Amino acid sequence: MWSFAAKALPAGVMIAAIAEVGRRMPAAAALIASLPLVSILGMIFLWHARPDIENMAHHSQATFWFVLPSLPMFLLIPVLLRIGVSFWLSLAAGCVLTVLLYLGMVHFGPRFGLRL
């Protein structure tokens, strides 16, 4: 249990810091949020649990391919907000789009030789 808490605490602190910085400086918070800090922490914890080069290489490569389907969400949400769609509906639409793109990546990725 302590191990889980020690892993969850840095991620929670990062999210809280992004929210606090975002109240005054939205662009700075976006920059912090865009940094792959959670991915880096995840790789460190994964390496500590299973120091296997091939496993880490596969994890890192799969992370790259799974980031791509999440990017359109960050374009859709501001478009919807600017045309008057509510925040919650815009967020939900962005999440639905991301899930659909993830499903597409899982389905079509291996057909193009991607190991996911």
State yes or no: pLDDT of 1 exceeds 80: no
In 3-state terms, what secondary structure has residue 86?
A: coil
pLDDT category, 10, cuts 50, 70, 90? confident
Q: How far apart are CA 102 and CA 69, in angstroms?
A: 6
**CA gyration radius for the chain?**
17
pLDDT category, 38, cuts 50, 70, 90? confident
Q: Are 97 and 76 in contact (CB under 8 A)?
A: yes
Render pLDDT for 60-114 as a digit per residue (tens, 0 to 9): 999 999 999 999 999 999 999 999 999 999 999 999 999 999 999 999 999 998 8
pLDDT category, 3, cuts 50, 70, 90? confident
Q: If we measure between CA atoms, which residue out of 29, 5, 1, 27 comes closest to residue 17?
A: 29
